[in-house]
Amino acid sequence: MKKRAISTISALLIVMSSYAQGSGMAGINEATNMVTSYFDPLTKLIFAVAAVLGLVGGVRIYSKFSSGDPDASKSATALFLACVFLVVVGTVLRSFFL
């Protein structure tokens, strides 16, 4: 009697798991489509942040150069590399996920 109950329960669990796998793929595909739909606006946002960072940083570096600050070239290099990093990250995100 116990063996029959255990085999019935295990068969029921196997059948239930097979039904769950079929509808799970549809959910995974829908989630993938939803996530990839966010990458285009995200890359545009990253490029916009890089542009604003470049403009604001350019004004700050110009004021440093005008005042004769000795660290102006170091700040200019850091700003340039930060903007390059943001552009590369936006491009890599777009190429990997879209």
First to last CA, the chain: 56
pLDDT digits (tens, 9 = 90+) for 40-75: 888 888 888 888 988 998 899 999 889 988 888 898
- DSSP per-residue codes, 5-65: HHHHHHHHHHHHHHHHHHHHHHHHHHHHHHHHHTHHHHHHHHHHHHHHHHHHHHHHHHHHH
The one-letter amino acid at 72: A
What is the domain range of residue 61?
A: 38-98
* 48 and 9 together in one domain: no
So what's the pLDDT on residue 21?
54
pLDDT for residue 38:
82
Assess whether 74 and 43 both reside in one domain: yes
pLDDT band of 1, cuts 50, 70, 90: low
Q: Which amino acid is at 37?
A: S
Cβ contact 90:50 at 8 Å: yes
62 and 76 fall within a common domain: yes
Q: What is the mean pLDDT of residues 5-33?
A: 71
Q: What is the mean pLDDT of residues 69-87?
A: 88
The reported pTM is 0.60
Total number of domains constituting the chain: 2
